[in-house]
Amino acid sequence: MKIQTKPNWKAYHSVWGSLSKLLLVVAMTGIMTQSLGQTPQQPVVNADHSVTFTVKAPGTKKMVLVLSEKKYKMQRHNDTFTYQTAPLPSEMYTYYYLSDGKEMLDPENSRVTRDIALKLNFFFVEGDVADYYIDKDVPHGRIDKVWYPSTLNGMSQRRMFVYTPPGYDADSTATYPVLYLLHGSGGDETSWADYGRACQIIENMLHQGSIKPMIVVMPNGNIEMDAAPGESPYMNKKPTGNNISSWLGKFEKLFVPEIVKYVERHYRVKADKQHRAIAGLSMGGLHTLFIALNNPDMFDFVGLFSAQTSNMLDENNIFKMERFNHNMQRFRNVLALVQDKVAPPVSLSDKMADIDIYSRLEEKLQRQFEHAPQLYYIAIGCDDFLKKMNSQYRDILDKHGYRYTYVETDGDHSWENWRKYLVDFLSNFDF
């Protein structure tokens, strides 16, 4: 027996009416968006990995795109300027515009980072290494912005970032290995978390199962500032890439008693050599090298990324500076006497007590490599201006037969390399 069912036309018309209204709303939204002249988030990464930049700038005569520090003249179409790149490798790229010579961020890109004092837009070309740098739907940890007691440079406290991995708060009995991650000259405690994408790298590698959960400590190695610009209630200084005062041993000397000891009192870390790692880029590489060197029983994993392997201001140079400073002080005293004032004292003698951090290199290396770190990692780009300095340091290690891992890549002194080095360094961990 065949049963024939009549269609429910009333219900059909009801559904169709609702669907028609929805389609009308979508269509009207599209029309309104076009009429308002809104554009999608910029720039647009095309299917072939070329990138199209579009910026509206009424009244601007000339627009230049500064992409990864290289300049490109943009094509003008009335009030709109465009530029399309060739296909780009997978990476995180930074850029800004020069509008008639004046620096300008992209008004259609909400993604902004900072390099020293310069603000930059950024975007990703996915498909390879940049996949580590992207925020994904994976379990996330937490960043604590910590003020800790410090006597460094006459201060009472300084700020650092402490990243705790997913699950840290859920199990109050679990303990974790710890990585101390140090920035370069001009940077601060935000550098690795922001421009370096360290937290995204950690979480994406955790999700892959290629590393174990760890705590990551990102301190501020610029001794002239207690925190990132605009983040301190005590001082308002602009950052500069010239951090010579941070190369004179003070930060390295206080690192273990102030930073490491604070972390081990306040966080559930495995407080032994086998579960401590330290790595840094450029100036942070200098700090890393000599912190590990002067504390040979502290760190089993040491990473030097484009490292400044020499202080460059040795004891002889410091004494020359002291003599010059003494003569300048005498001149100031005479000038102040003429003006009936008292010249403030200026001296480098307080720095002399810390310069021993950099002395007796080979003697200290011998002690450090008597119980060698599990991983002593050196990485640098073939066009990096510090490559010669790194080669000279490696000659010392080779002369004594000390084992280390050496990675040489394309590129120069740049975040494009340092992020890759962090991924590779973490991949070699055996916590």
Yes or no: say if 134 and 125 are a contact pair by the CB < 8 Å rule.
no
- Residue by residue, DSSP assigns 109-158 as ---EEEETTEEEEEEEE-SSGGGGTS--SS---EEEEEEEE--GGG-SEE
pTM of the model: 0.83
Give me the DSSP letters along 49-109: S-EEEEEE-TT-S-EEEEETTEEEEPEEETTEEEEEPPP--SEEEEEEEEETTEEE--TT-
- Please compute the mean of the pLDDT values over residues 383-395 and round it to a whole number: 97
pLDDT in tens, 213-253: 999 999 999 999 999 999 998 888 888 888 888 888 999 99
Residue whose token pair is 């974790």 = 176
Helix then strand count (H, E) for the chain reads 11, 18
Tell me: pLDDT of 352 over 70.
Answer: no
| CA 63/CA 76 separation, integer angstroms | 8
Alpha-carbon span 403 to 422, nearest angstrom: 20
DSSP annotation string for 210-270: SS---EEEEE---TT-SSSTT--SS------S--GGGGSSHHHHHIIIIIIHHHHHHS-B-
Distance between CA atoms of residues 314 and 57, nearest Å: 51
Q: Are 153 and 225 in contact (CB under 8 A)?
A: no
pLDDT tens per residue, range 251-274: 999 999 999 999 999 999 999 999
* In the predicted structure, residue 331 carries a pLDDT above the cut 90: no
Mean pLDDT taken over the chain: 87
Give the residue-averaged pLDDT of 270-288.
97
Question: What are the pLDDT digits (tens) for 146-178?
Answer: 999 999 999 999 999 999 999 999 999 999 999
Q: For 346-364, what is the mean pLDDT? A: 72
What does the alpha-carbon distance between residue 353 and residue 357 come to, in Å, rounded to a whole number?
9
Tell me the mean pLDDT in the region 31-37: 38
Distances in Å between the Cα of 297 and the Cα atoms of 246, 274, 276 are 24, 9, 10
**Model confidence band, residue 96 (pLDDT cutoffs 50, 70, 90):** very high
Contact 176, 270 (CB under 8 A): yes
pLDDT score, position 14: 44
Residues 205 and 199: their CA atoms lie apart, in Å, by 10
What pLDDT sits at residue 314? Answer: 59
**pLDDT score, position 319:** 57
Q: Say which residue the tokens 């739907």 belong to.
A: 137
